[in-house]
């Protein structure tokens, strides 16, 4: 691309202006003369953008409602025009005869005092993405787009289909086995039903016999239980004594003695109360307390021993009471045992009577055995039938599952699949070799380009910086935020310094040197340099102008400067010179 003519309306201080440009165009003038506006106008026309920190509406002339910039030029010998118009508060409109708008970035506009920010990175870095710098991004993209995984996935699919043929064979085998089992099971079920039909007429007779057998078994059980109870009761009878009249008579005799003794004690007590009625002793009584008759001494002698007799009888009474109490307890225990013995004897008689009443059927042993065999066989046949029904249901479900699996399986040509697999394996290997060779070639080209870039960088720096403080410049590649980047450095004595350790002029010199070196690798169609002399001294400007002379062979340059010295150096190159 080469621009030849520019028309500007209402753009900053350019009200209505038209000018031509060449391979190297210089706009010289004082501050506010409009030289930078011309560069920004071209930037707006080509990119539709403005520098960072300035809005497009800021670029519109204060006395105008819109701005318009039109450029005319040639691309590969073919004329073109590109016009952009911006109304205040509205979007940008574009007119052109090009099929596609040129892909030019706003970084073509470079301010001398901002040249150090040309490259991405933190203040401690002067970095640029290596592959973008070397022009290898497209080739790297092609390498990355050579993906073998889809082919490998297809290979896996074919291998899976081949393996599936074995699975289909296995399913068919299992399906045949299941069908054979179903037929065998049906035969067993049919035989079972025939046997049940044969035994059907004998079932009522066998059930009646079995009922009697069960009844006899229950009766026998009842009989055995009662005999067991009788034996137990008889063994208990041995622990209880027979009826004993002597104990009863003995208790009665003691009871009679006790009654007589009590009567005598009562008589003694009565006599003693009469004789001692007035509190006198026996030997002091002369008359009867009841009738007043005279009592002789001989008669009183008979009453002198009443007190001793009374005491003797009281003692006998106490001993007899203890004996009577003990005998009565023995009698009560004896009577209880006698009563329980009578209960056991009655229970034995009752159980013996019940035993005589138990009925038992007379059943021939061969009939009982036959009936049991028939009923057991019928029960077994019924259980077998249930089992066979469950087996048949399960087998039918298996058959259905295998049939569905077969219907879902593809019918494949194994030989054809093997041929396809072989071809894909060869293709995958070939593609892998191509990618490997391409990566190797890219690495080789990359190495050569980096060497060329280093050489151009060092030569350009010597032109702009003809001093001894920085004896050598170089760059290294580092991994910054996951990307391989280039980092520049300068050698001072025996130490390497990075950009943040250098002066402003040294930073400007390194930045322009790297810019010119990069441009040799991948030419930029156009650069807009605004006061690039910032930070450069006289010697630096001379070297800078010499580099621009070489650079204009491949890149159209437009320079805005307020340095008469830089303007004179560029004017001596016989370029398009505009004194603004």
Confidence of residue 302 (pLDDT cuts 50, 70, 90): low
Question: CA–CA separation, 5 vs 18, rounded Å?
Answer: 7
Nearest to 121 by CA among 460, 449, 479: 479
pLDDT in tens, 349-383: 888 787 777 666 677 778 778 778 777 777 777 78
pLDDT in tens, 556-571: 999 999 999 999 898 8
What is the number of alpha carbons within 13 Å of residue 405 lying toward its C-beta?
A: 17
Q: Which of 522, 547, 563 is the last residue of a domain?
A: 522
For residues 277 and 370, state if they share a domain: yes
pLDDT for 402: 67
For residues 432 and 462, state if they share a domain: yes
pLDDT for 285: 61
pLDDT for 133: 57
The residues near 222 (Cβ < 8 Å, ≥ 6 apart) are 358
Phi, psi values for residue 85, rounded to 5°: -130, 140
Q: Which of 386, 407, 428 is the last residue of a domain?
A: 407
pLDDT for 131: 58
Question: Is the pLDDT at 410 greater than 80, yes or no?
Answer: no
For residues 509 and 545, state if they share a domain: no
For residues 257 and 378, state if they share a domain: yes
What's the CA angle centered on 419, arms 413 and 424, to 5 degrees?
Answer: 120
- Look at residue 430 and tell me if it is in a domain: yes
Q: Of 30-39, 81-90, 346-355, 522-531, where does mean pLDDT reach its minimum? A: 346-355
pLDDT for 127: 46
For residues 347 and 222, state if they share a domain: yes
Can you give the pTM of this predicted structure?
0.51
Question: CA–CA separation, 323 vs 330, rounded Å?
Answer: 11
User: Averaged over 263-287, what is the pLDDT?
Assistant: 66
Burial label, 275 (beta-carbon count in 10 A; 0-12, 13-18, 19+):
buried
For residues 135 and 253, state if they share a domain: no
Residue by residue, DSSP assigns 169-192 as HHHHHHHHHHHHHHHHHHHHHHHH
For residues 308 and 386, state if they share a domain: yes
Average pLDDT score, the chain? 80
Question: CA–CA separation, 389 vs 393, rounded Å?
Answer: 6
pLDDT in tens, 525-559: 899 999 988 888 899 899 989 988 888 888 999 99
Confidence of residue 123 (pLDDT cuts 50, 70, 90): very low
Domain total in the chain: 3
pLDDT for 70: 96
Domain limits for position 579? 1-104+525-580
For residues 9 and 54, state if they share a domain: yes
Q: Which of 522, 539, 567 is the last residue of a domain?
A: 522
- Look at residue 111 and tell me if it is in a domain: no
Question: Is the pLDDT at 120 greater than 60, yes or no?
Answer: no
pLDDT in tens, 55-80: 999 999 999 999 999 999 999 889 99
Question: CA–CA separation, 457 vs 474, rounded Å?
Answer: 8
For residues 425 and 547, state if they share a domain: no
The residue among 578 and 463 whose pLDDT is bigger is: 463
CATH of the domain at 50: 3.40.50.300
For residues 311 and 186, state if they share a domain: yes
């Amino acid at each position: 691309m080469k621009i030849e003519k520019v028309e500007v309306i209402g753009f900053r201080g350019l009200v209505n202006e038209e000018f031509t440009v060449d391979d190297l165009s210089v706009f010289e003038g004082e501050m506010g003369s409009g030289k930078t506006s011309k560069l920004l106008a071209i930037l707006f026309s080509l990119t539709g953008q403005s520098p960072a920190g300035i809005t497009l509406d800021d670029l519109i002339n204060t006395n105008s409602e819109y701005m318009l910039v039109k450029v005319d030029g040639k691309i590969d010998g073919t004329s073109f025009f590109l016009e952009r118009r911006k109304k205040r508060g509205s979007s940008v409109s574009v007119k052109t005869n090009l099929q596609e708008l040129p892909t030019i970035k706003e970084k073509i506009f470079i301010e001398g005092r901002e040249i150090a920010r040309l490259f991405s990175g933190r203040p401690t870095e002067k970095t640029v993405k290596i592959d973008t710098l070397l022009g290898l991004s497209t080739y790297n993209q092609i390498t990355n787009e050579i993906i073998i995984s889809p082919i490998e996935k297809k290979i896996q699919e074919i291998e899976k289909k081949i393996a599936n043929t074995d699975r289909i064979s296995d399913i068919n085998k299992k399906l045949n086995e299941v069908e054979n089992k179903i037929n065998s099971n049906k035969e067993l079920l049919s035989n079972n039903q025939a046997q049940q039909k044969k035994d059907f007429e004998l079932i009522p007779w066998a059930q009646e016999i079995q009922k009697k057998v069960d009844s006899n078994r229950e009766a026998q059980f009842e009989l055995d239980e009662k005999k067991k109870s009788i034996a137990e009761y008889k063994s208990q009878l041995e622990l209880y004594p027979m009826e004993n009249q002597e104990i009863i008579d003995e208790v009665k005799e003691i009871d009679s003695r006790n009654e007589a003794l009590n009567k005598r004690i009562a008589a003694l007590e009565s006599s003693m109360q009469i004789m001692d009625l007035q509190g006198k002793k026996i030997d002091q009584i002369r008359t009867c307390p009841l009738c007043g008759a005279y009592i002789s001494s001989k008669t009183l002698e008979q009453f002198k021993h009443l007190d001793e007799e009374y005491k003797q009888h009281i003692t006998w009474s106490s001993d007899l009471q203890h004996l009577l109490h003990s005998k009565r307890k023995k009698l009560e225990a004896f009577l209880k045992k006698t009563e329980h013995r009578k209960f056991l004897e009655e229970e034995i008689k009752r159980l013996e009577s019940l035993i005589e009443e138990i009925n038992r059927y007379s059943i021939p042993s061969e009939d009982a055995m036959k009936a049991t065999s028939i009923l057991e066989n019928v029960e077994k046949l019924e259980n077998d039938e249930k089992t066979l029904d469950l087996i048949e249901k399960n087998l039918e479900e298996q058959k259905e599952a295998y049939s569905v699996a077969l219907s879902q399986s593809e019918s494949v040509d194994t030989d054809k699949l093997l041929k396809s697999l072989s071809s894909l394996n060869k293709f995958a290997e070939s593609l892998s070799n191509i990618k490997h060779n391409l990566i190797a070639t890219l690495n080789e080209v990359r190495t050569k380009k980096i060497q060329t870039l280093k050489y151009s960088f060092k030569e350009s720096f010597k032109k702009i910086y003809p001093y001894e403080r920085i004896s050598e410049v170089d760059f290294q590649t580092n991994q910054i935020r996951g990307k391989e980047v280039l980092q520049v450095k300068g050698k001072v004595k025996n130490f390497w310094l990075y950009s943040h350790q250098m002066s402003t002029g040294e930073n400007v010199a390194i930045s322009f040197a790297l810019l010119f070196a990069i441009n040799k690798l991948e030419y930029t169609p156009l650069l807009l340099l605004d006061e690039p002399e910032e930070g450069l001294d006289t010697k630096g400007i001379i070297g800078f102008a010499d580099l621009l002379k070489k650079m204009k062979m491949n890149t159209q340059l437009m320079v805005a400067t307020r340095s008469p010295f830089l303007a004179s150096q560029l004017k001596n190159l016989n370029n398009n010179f505009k004194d603004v």
